[in-house]
C-alpha cells in the first residue's frame, strides 16, 4: 500500500476502532448488569438503563468522530444523560418535558428516599418501583460516562475492567450464590475485547503493522492467558473458598448484631453455630407469646414477598390498630407485653399479635393495618424498649369448626398460586385432609401430619438433596424427602392450604422465649429470646375470628389446638403459636429446642426453627471501601507496570522505550510534553528549564533519532548506558519537583493519558 493510500485509510480505521471500543464498553456494561438481575428483578428499569447507556456512548462516539476535544464528549454525554433521566422520571416538572427545573432537582431526594425504603424492606429479587428505578438508571448512566472516558479518552481498558468486575460482584456479595458461569464468561470476553482493541488501535497509531505485529499478538496472547486464568479461578477456586461466618456483638459494646431476614432462603443462616440473646420479654400472658416481625402474603412460585400495603404513623399514646373485628360470641383476652431489644438491628419490630397499641418507641415508626406489623423507614430496633397491648380472640373448638375460611375483605394475594403447581402438592393436601369435615379439621390434619413421625427436622438434608429454599420446586421435593426446617414446613403448609382454596400467608418472627428465672412481679413473667429462635410459621384466615396461626414445624413450638366449650369452665383457652397455656388439654412441650438438643436417634444437632442473618450493610460498606481503594491504587499500579515492562526493552537497547519513559516521567511530574514537539526541542527544554544533564538526555535523544530516521534497530551494546541515563534523568526531575508533585505522580500519573508511544523500531527486512 502506498503512503497516500495508507493516509487515506487511517481515518477509516480510526473511526472503526472508536466504534468497536464504544461497542465493547456497551457490551461490558450489559454483561456486568446480568448478575444484578438476581437481586433486582428485571423490568422497565432494565430497558431504561440499557437505553441510557447506549445513548450516552453513541453521543460520545459522535463527538469523537467529529474530532472535537475529549472534554466536549464527556460534557455532551452528561447533558444527554440528564435529559434522558429528566424525560423518564420527572417529565411533569421539567421544561419542555426534558430540561430539569429547580422543582425537578428538589424531587431527587424523595426518589433516593423511596429507593432506600425499597432496598430496606424488599427481598431479592426486589421489584423496582420509581425510586429504585431512578437510582439504577442514573447509576448505569454515570457508569457509561465514566467508562467511556476511561476507555476512549484515557485509554485505560484495564481500569475499566476493574470497574466492571466490581459492579458484577456487588450482587454476589449481597446475596451469596453459585457462580453464574455465562455471566462470568460474557464479562471476561468483553474485557478481553476491550484490551485487544486498545492494543490494536495504539499499534496503528504508532506505525506500520509489519514492524510491530509480533508485539501486538504477544500482548493479545498475554491478555488471553490472563483472561483464561481469571475465568478458571472464578469457576473453580472461588466456590471452594470458605464462606464468611456471622459475627455478633457481645454485651453492649460496638460491633455487629443480628437482623431479621425476611427472605425465606435462610439455610446458611440456620447453620451458624453462634447464639446470642437478642431481646427480653415481660408479659401478663399465661406464657411467652410468639413475636411477629414480617408477614409474607405474595407468592409467585419462587419467592414469598413481604407485605407492603398502606401504613399509619405509630402514635405515642394512642392505639395504632383497631381491635380485631370478631363475632360477638367470640371471647377475647387482653394482655400487655414489654419488650427490651438488645443486639437486634432490624427495620421490622418484633411484636406479639394481634397488637392494638405500641408505646415507648424512639424514632419514626409505621404500622401496617393489614397485618399488624411495625416497620421503620430509617430507624432500627436496636436498643428499643416498648410496650405492646394485644387483644387476642379465643374461640372454642366448636366455634372455630363452625367458621368458614376466607372473606370479601381479603385480597387476591393470599389465595394466588402460579399455574405450574406440581401435582404432588395438591394431591397430597387432598389425601391428608380427605376425612376432615371442616376447614379447621383439614388444617389440623395437615398440622398433625407434618408433626408426625413421617417427617424429620434437619438443617443439612435440604442442602444435600438440593431443595434448600421456599419455592414451588423446593416444596415438592420437601414433600418427597420429608425432612427440612421451618421454612420448608411453613411454605409447604401455606401452599397446600391454598390448593384447598384457603387464604394463607407466612409470618417471620421469633419463637416464644425461655423463662429467665426472674421472680414474677405484678402478674408479669420474664422471658429471654435468642437469635436461634428466629422462626417462620403459616396463618389461615377464618371469618369472624381473623388470622389463626398454625405450627407445622416438626419438634418445634406448640401445635395449634382449641379447647371444647362443653368441657367445663366459662371461657375457653387456646394453644396457638401466639397464645399458649401449658394447662390446656392437648398442649405439648412449650420450649423450643436449643442448639445441641437431641430428640433421639437420628435427630439433628440443631433444633432451631431459624437463625438470624448478619446485617449486610457493614459488609457492603467494607467491600465498597476496598473497591474504592483498589480503584484509587489502580493508576499507580498501572504506571509501575508500564515502567517495569519498558525496563527490559531499554536494557536491550530500545531507544524508543527509553525516550517514552523519559516523557512519561516528565508528564507525571507536571512537565509539558506535547506530541507536536520534536525530541530535540523537548530535550533542550529539559536541560534549560529542569537542570537535566545534557549528556544524559543527549545520549537518549541521539539514540532515538538513529532508531527512527536511520532505522538503526536494537543495539544491546548501548542498552546499559541508556538505562543508566534514563534513571539519572528520572532522579533529577523528581529532585526538582515538590513533595506534592511527587505524590501526585505516584498516585495519579498523568502519563497514562498519553496517546501512546512510537512503536519499537526493528531492523528492516533485507531487500530481496
CB 683 within 8 A of CB 659: no
Task: Identify whether 243 is part of a domain.
Answer: no
pLDDT in tens, 420-478: 889 999 999 999 999 899 999 999 999 999 999 999 888 776 666 666 777 788 889 88
- Within 13 Å, how many C-alpha atoms sit on residue 131's CB side? 15
> What are 307's three cell numbers?
407485605
pLDDT in tens, 540-556: 999 999 999 999 998 88
**Three-state SS string across 651-708, please?**
HCCCHHHHHHHHHHHHHHCCCCCCCCCCHHHHHHHHHHHHCCCHHHHHHHHHHHHHHH
Q: What is the pLDDT of residue 442?
A: 94
Task: Identify whether 579 is part of a domain.
Answer: yes
Owning domain of residue 401: 261-612
Lateral strand order in the sheet of 525-530: 355-359, 385-394, 331-341, 277-283, 525-530, 514-515
Look up residue 318 and give its DSSP letter.
S
Same domain, 397 and 279: yes
Q: What is the pTM for the complete model shown?
A: 0.50
Same domain, 696 and 564: no
Q: Which of 154, 176, 198 lies at the terminal end of a domain, its last residue?
A: 176
Q: What is the pLDDT of residue 598?
A: 31
Q: What is the pLDDT of residue 237?
A: 43
Task: Identify whether 199 is part of a domain.
Answer: no
pLDDT in tens, 170-205: 666 555 455 566 777 777 777 777 777 666 665 555
Q: How far apart are CA 11 and CA 8, in angstroms?
A: 7
Q: Exposed e or buried b for every residue in 337-372, given b needs 16+ CB within 10 A?
A: bbbebbbbbbbbbbbbbbbbbbbebeeebbbbebbb
Q: Which of 117, 151, 176 lies at the terminal end of a domain, its last residue?
A: 176
Q: Which of 135, 151, 176 lies at the terminal end of a domain, its last residue?
A: 176
Q: What is the pLDDT of residue 250?
A: 28
Q: How far apart are CA 47 and CA 417, in angstroms?
A: 28
Same domain, 413 and 527: yes
pLDDT in tens, 214-270: 444 444 444 444 445 444 444 444 444 443 332 222 232 333 346 776 665 544 444
Ranges assigned E (strand) in 342-479: 348-349, 355-359, 366-368, 373-375, 385-394, 456-457
pLDDT in tens, 99-108: 888 888 888 8
Domain count, the chain: 3
Q: How far apart are CA 656 and CA 674, in angstroms?
A: 16
* 30-34, 497-501, 693-697, range with the lowest pLDDT: 30-34
Same domain, 597 and 702: no
Task: Identify whether 704 is part of a domain.
Answer: yes
Higher pLDDT, 400 or 251: 400
Same domain, 584 and 513: yes
Task: Identify whether 189 is part of a domain.
Answer: no
What percent of the chain has pLDDT above 70?
73
Task: Identify whether 227 is part of a domain.
Answer: no
Q: What is the pLDDT of residue 438?
A: 94
Lateral strand order in the sheet of 291-299: 304-306, 291-299, 504-510, 534-542, 546-549
Which whole number is the average pLDDT over 35-49? 82
Same domain, 632 and 608: no
Same domain, 500 and 608: yes
Query: Directed axis angle between helix 694-709 and helix 655-668, to 10°?
Result: 130
Task: Identify whether 251 is part of a domain.
Answer: no
pLDDT in tens, 51-79: 888 898 898 888 888 888 878 888 888 88
Does position 516 have pLDDT exceeding 80, yes or no? no
Same domain, 542 and 632: no
Q: What is the pLDDT of residue 206?
A: 46
What percent of the chain has pLDDT above 90?
15
Same domain, 599 and 632: no
pLDDT in tens, 404-415: 998 777 888 899
pLDDT in tens, 637-674: 888 888 888 888 888 888 888 888 888 888 888 888 88
Does position 613 have pLDDT exceeding 70, yes or no? no
Higher pLDDT, 457 or 1: 457
Q: What is the pLDDT of residue 497?
A: 94
Please provide residue 539's backbone torsions phi and psi, each rounded to the nearest 5 degrees. -135, 150
Does position 139 have pLDDT exceeding 80, yes or no? yes
Task: Identify whether 504 is part of a domain.
Answer: yes
CA angle 316, 391, 370 (to 5 degrees): 75
> What are 673's three cell numbers?
510534553
Same domain, 429 and 390: yes
Q: What is the pLDDT of residue 761?
A: 39
**How far is CA 742 from each of CA 206, 410, 567, 638, 725, rounded to the nearest angstrom?**
29, 70, 91, 17, 20
Same domain, 388 and 509: yes
> What are 758's three cell numbers?
512510537
Q: Exposed e or buried b for every residue in 634-672, given b needs 16+ CB within 10 A?
A: bbeebbeebbeebbebbbbbbbbbbbbbbbbbbbbbebe
pLDDT in tens, 314-365: 877 777 888 888 999 999 999 999 999 987 888 889 999 899 999 988 888 8
For 622: left if phi > 0, alpha if psi spans -120 to 50, otherwise beta; the answer is alpha
Radius of gyration of the chain (CA): 34
Same domain, 536 and 488: yes
Q: What is the pLDDT of residue 152?
A: 76
Average pLDDT, the chain: 75
Amino acid at each position: 500500500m502506498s503512503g497516500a493510500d495508507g493516509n487515506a485509510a487511517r481515518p477509516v480505521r480510526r473511526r472503526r476502532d472508536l466504534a468497536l471500543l464504544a461497542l465493547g464498553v456497551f457490551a461490558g456494561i450489559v454483561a456486568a448488569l446480568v448478575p444484578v438481575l438476581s437481586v433486582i428483578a428485571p423490568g422497565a428499569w432494565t430497558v431504561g438503563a440499557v437505553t441510557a447507556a447506549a445513548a450516552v456512548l453513541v453521543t460520545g462516539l459522535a463527538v469523537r468522530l467529529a474530532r472535537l476535544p475529549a472534554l466536549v464528549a464527556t460534557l455532551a454525554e452528561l447533558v444527554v444523560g440528564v435529559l434522558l433521566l429528566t424525560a423518564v422520571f420527572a417529565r411533569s416538572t421539567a421544561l419542555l418535558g426534558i430540561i430539569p427545573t429547580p422543582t425537578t432537582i428538589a424531587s431527587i431526594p424523595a426518589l433516593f428516599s423511596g429507593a432506600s425504603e425499597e432496598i430496606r424492606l424488599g427481598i431479592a429479587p426486589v421489584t423496582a418501583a420509581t425510586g429504585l428505578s431512578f437510582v439504577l438508571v442514573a447509576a448505569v448512566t454515570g457508569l457509561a460516562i465514566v467508562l467511556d472516558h476511561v476507555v476512549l479518552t484515557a485509554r485505560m481498558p484495564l481500569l475499566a475492567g476493574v470497574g466492571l468486575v466490581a459492579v458484577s460482584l456487588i450482587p454476589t456479595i449481597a446475596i451469596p450464590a453459585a457462580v453464574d458461569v455465562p455471566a462470568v464468561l460474557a464479562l471476561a470476553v468483553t474485557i478481553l475485547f476491550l484490551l485487544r482493541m486498545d492494543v490494536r488501535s495504539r499499534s496503528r497509531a504508532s506505525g506500520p503493522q509489519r514492524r510491530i505485529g509480533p508485539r501486538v499478538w504477544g500482548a493479545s496472547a498475554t491478555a488471553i492467558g490472563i483472561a483464561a486464568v481469571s475465568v478458571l479461578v472464578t469457576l473453580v477456586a472461588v466456590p471452594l473458598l470458605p464462606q464468611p461466618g456471622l459475627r455478633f456483638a457481645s454485651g453492649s459494646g460496638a460491633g455487629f448484631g443480628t437482623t431479621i431476614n425476611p427472605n425465606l432462603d435462610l439455610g446458611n443462616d440456620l447453620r451458624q453455630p453462634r447464639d446470642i440473646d437478642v431481646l427480653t420479654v415481660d408479659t401478663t400472658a399465661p406464657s411467652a407469646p410468639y413475636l411477629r416481625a414480617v408477614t409474607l402474603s405474595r407468592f409467585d412460585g419462587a419467592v414469598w414477598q413481604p407485605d407492603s400495603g398502606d401504613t399509619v404513623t405509630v402514635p405515642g399514646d394512642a392505639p395504632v390498630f383497631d381491635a380485631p373485628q370478631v363475632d360477638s360470641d367470640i371471647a377475647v383476652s387482653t394482655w400487655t407485653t414489654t419488650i427490651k431489644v438488645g443486639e437486634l438491628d432490624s427495620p421490622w419490630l418484633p411484636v406479639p399479635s394481634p397488637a392494638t397499641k405500641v408505646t415507648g418507641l424512639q424514632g419514626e415508626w409505621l404500622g401496617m393495618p393489614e397485618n399488624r406489623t411495625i416497620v421503620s423507614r430509617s430507624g432500627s430496633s436496636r436498643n428499643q424498649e416498648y410496650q405492646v397491648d394485644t387483644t387476642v380472640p379465643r374461640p372454642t373448638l366448636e366455634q372455630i369448626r363452625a367458621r368458614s375460611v376466607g372473606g370479601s375483605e381479603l385480597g387476591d394475594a393470599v389465595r394466588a398460586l402460579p399455574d405450574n403447581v406440581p401435582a404432588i402438592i395438591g394431591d397430597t393436601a387432598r389425601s391428608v385432609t380427605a376425612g376432615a369435615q371442616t376447614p379447621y379439621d383439614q388444617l389440623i390434619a395437615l398440622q398433625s401430619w407434618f408433626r408426625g413421625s413421617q417427617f424429620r427436622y434437619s438443617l443439612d438434608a435440604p442442602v444435600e438433596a438440593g431443595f434448600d429454599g421456599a419455592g414451588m420446586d423446593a416444596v415438592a421435593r420437601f414433600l418427597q424427602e420429608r425432612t427440612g426446617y421451618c421454612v420448608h414446613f411453613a411454605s409447604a403448609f401455606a401452599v397446600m392450604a391454598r390448593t384447598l382454596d384457603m387464604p394463607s400467608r407466612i409470618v417471620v418472627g421469633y419463637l416464644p422465649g425461655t423463662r429467665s428465672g426472674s421472680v414474677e412481679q405484678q402478674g408479669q413473667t420474664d422471658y429471654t429470646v435468642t437469635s436461634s429462635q428466629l422462626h417462620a410459621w403459616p396463618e389461615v384466615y377464618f371469618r369472624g375470628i381473623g388470622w389463626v396461626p398454625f405450627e407445622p414445624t416438626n419438634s418445634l413450638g406448640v401445635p395449634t389446638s382449641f379447647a371444647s366449650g362443653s368441657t367445663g369452665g366459662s371461657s375457653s383457652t387456646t394453644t396457638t403459636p401466639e397464645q399458649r397455656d401449658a394447662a390446656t388439654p392437648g398442649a405439648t412441650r412449650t420450649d423450643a429446642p436449643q442448639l445441641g438438643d437431641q430428640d433421639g436417634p437420628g435427630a439433628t444437632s440443631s433444633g432451631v426453627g431459624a437463625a438470624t442473618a448478619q446485617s449486610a450493610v457493614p459488609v457492603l460498606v467494607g467491600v465498597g471501601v476496598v473497591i474504592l481503594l483498589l480503584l484509587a491504587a489502580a493508576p499507580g499500579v498501572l504506571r509501575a507496570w508500564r515502567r517495569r515492562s519498558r525496563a527490559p526493552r531499554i536494557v536491550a537497547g530500545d531507544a524508543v522505550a527509553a525516550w517514552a519513559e523519559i516523557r512519561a516521567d516528565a508528564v507525571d511530574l507536571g512537565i509539558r510534553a506535547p506530541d507536536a514537539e520534536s525530541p530535540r526541542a523537548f530535550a533542550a527544554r529539559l536541560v534549560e528549564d529542569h537542570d537535566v544533564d545534557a549528556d544524559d538526555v543527549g545520549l537518549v535523544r541521539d539514540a532515538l533519532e538513529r532508531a527512527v530516521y536511520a532505522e538503526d534497530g536494537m543495539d544491546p551494546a548501548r542498552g546499559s548506558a541508556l538505562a543508566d541515563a534514563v534513571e539519572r534523568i528520572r532522579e533529577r526531575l523528581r529532585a526538582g519537583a515538590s513533595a506534592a508533585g511527587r505524590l501526585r505522580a505516584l498516585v495519579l500519573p498523568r502519563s497514562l493519558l498519553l496517546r501512546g508511544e512510537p512503536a519499537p523500531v526493528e531492523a528492516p527486512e533485507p531487500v530481496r
